[in-house]
Chains A and B, each alone.
Chain A
């Protein structure tokens, strides 16, 4: 495999890792706050649809992004209502949200666009432009680094950089701010937060709110950055891969980056079976590559490679006790 092919694969790794990273960080905030969320998939899907639909109708990808975030946050609100306010089962609520998004997006797409559950293809201002970073062209001729900078680092849509920035930002918020301390505490022992005079409900809604925001960006990226319009079921299990990455990352922001880059890489080479075959001298089944993130997660979950310990109060509705 030559250097250029490698760069191409790394480039698509970053593209494909971006929605995973955003969704993974979304899950991280929610689960650190004690709310399990297997509805990442549904929130992404809803956001993908509403941002594409809005962008198609208004011609503005930014309005699309806002609509995507709004829809994702609305579903987050529903999840919060069920699992925080009414103390319902968080897993069941997540399952419901996935189906809700899956059904509603097609239903509404059909009603609005009559194109069999898709939106019109997005053109011009309806999509996020690729951003060429400063000096990308100037540095292109520098050996090794130049092409890397120009091909892999530069030339992505703004949301890719937003996602990358979210990693240090999430770390800072979680570990260096008052809000982060409280958020982590509420996922570990909500009673401690409650007796300290801080609202458990408020914190948890904030956690699912941030989760909705990030899933919204992830979904918007799918349909307006990675793709050019909404297609039925376009989230294609990414919400679950993000969930897998979250376990892989043991609920930590930097590890989330590494995990999603790994899974993004797996997706990227699955798109280039020729490269893999020439490298390994034998044929690798694409199905195996598809399944690999899930298999890896199961291996991690089984504790064969380090133990993944979720936040202690995760999944449990908070009930005051005497």
Chain B
């Protein structure tokens, strides 16, 4: 029995959820003595009003696309990967090792190699919890949380004791060689004659992120593997009946998920910082949760949600610059989005369903 039309499920409910999150955010701004309308104005102006703003918005969005896809892919197998943060951190380590160890002749080759490194390291960090879930029944949510902390300690150790160049105090790796520097969006657009503000971090990784969206779409809905992942996510008993191996699905799905999270490091480590710093992920792994929830685990939804969060991030930075509202406002908005689109979904869904049922009864 269909209780409401599909468009309501895909569009109407997420929009209501999001509106609720934003309205409450507005009240929070009001409560700390600022004007929410003016704040929104500032954010839109700062994040979308100039190519400079877009350069940052798209840079953040690129990060979130990767972590959002990571969470989304795992969701399809009914796995909740909270470990994006740690996996992205390890991905950064992979990128750093690739970029520092080998003298690359050109960024294109370096990009391919670094992508492989990032994916492998991120996947590795997800495969261990996956193995423990598949073989030992340890809940992947708890283990991935633990692995975030272990990753933080590991990165701390590696940066302080191994990768830190002699004579510096900063727990960060050396700068990557010039040849590994990725072209930015502004480089690319200016090359074809479209003016775009320089000194913005958005770079070619954005294109890889878009390709990743397409790839994930095909993976989940068009391939045999995706079919099996979805079947496993919907009913483990049925998957077993069909001869779909739970061990394989959990391991492969988490590897893909971790690999996607790790791939984010191309953007922030190779594309932006051009060296590995402590806490390079800056919470993007967790935003992936909000993004995947909001995007209903669909790559297109993830893309839209990522741009929204990119906007919030850049807009939030602008706010912090021009008002007394700290950047942490974005964390609050992020929390509210997760709350309303994830945990409180039922609060919105039930009344909407009732409305549709009433409308149908009237028709009948």
In the complex, A touching B, CB below 8 Å? yes
Decide yes or no: A110 and B326 within 8 Å by CB, A86-B344, A301-B142 being known contacts. yes
Decide yes or no: A288 and B326 within 8 Å by CB, A86-B346, A297-B146 being known contacts. no
Report Cα–Cα, A87/B344, bound state, in Å: 8
From DSSP, what is the main secondary structure of chain B's interface residues?
helix
Decide yes or no: A92 and B343 within 8 Å by CB, A106-B326, A240-B149, A294-B149 being known contacts. yes
Q: Which residues in A have their C-beta under 8 angstroms from that of B142?
A: 243-244, 247, 297, 301
Beta-carbon contact of A86 and B347 below 8 Å: yes
Beta-carbon contact of B329 and A107 below 8 Å: yes
Beta-carbon contact of A81 and B344 below 8 Å: yes
Decide yes or no: A291 and B332 within 8 Å by CB, A89-B342, A111-B32 being known contacts. no
Chain A: how many interface residues by the 8 Å CB criterion? Answer: 48
Interface residues on B, range: 35 or more
Q: Which residues in A have their C-beta under 8 angstroms from that of B160?
A: 287
Q: Which residues in A have their C-beta under 8 angstroms from that of B28?
A: 104, 107
Report Cα–Cα, A301/B293, bound state, in Å: 27
Which chain A residue shows the least CB distance to B330?
A103
Beta-carbon contact of B342 and A93 below 8 Å: yes
CB < 8 Å A-B pair total: 153
Decide yes or no: A287 and B154 within 8 Å by CB, A95-B338, A103-B330 being known contacts. yes
Does A108 belong to the interface (CB within 8 Å)? yes
Q: Which residues in A have their C-beta under 8 angstroms from that of B9?
A: none
Minimal beta-carbon separation of B209 from chain A (angstroms)? 23
Q: Which residues in A have their C-beta under 8 angstroms from that of B60?
A: none
Q: Which residues in A have their C-beta under 8 angstroms from that of B326?
A: 106-107, 110, 117
Seed contacts A86-B343, A301-B138; 5 additional CB < 8 Å A-B pairs: A89-B342, A288-B157, A290-B156, A297-B146, A301-B136
Instruction: Please name the 6 residue pairs, one residue from A and one from B, whose CB atoms are nearest each other, closest first.
Output: A103-B331, A99-B335, A93-B343, A103-B332, A301-B138, A291-B153
User: A-contacting residues of B (Cβ < 8 Å)?
Assistant: 28, 31-33, 80, 82, 132, 136-139, 141-143, 145-147, 149-150, 153-154, 156-157, 160-161, 286, 289, 293, 324-326, 328-336, 338-339, 342-347, 350
User: B-contacting residues of A (Cβ < 8 Å)?
Assistant: 38, 78, 81-83, 85-93, 95-100, 102-104, 106-108, 110-111, 114, 117, 237, 240, 243-244, 247, 285, 287-288, 290-291, 294-295, 297-298, 301-303, 310
Q: Can you list 20 contacts pairing A with B, beta carbon distance less than 8 Å?
A: A81-B347, A83-B343, A92-B338, A92-B343, A93-B343, A106-B326, A110-B324, A117-B326, A237-B149, A244-B146, A287-B154, A287-B157, A290-B153, A291-B154, A294-B147, A294-B149, A298-B138, A301-B138, A301-B142, A303-B138
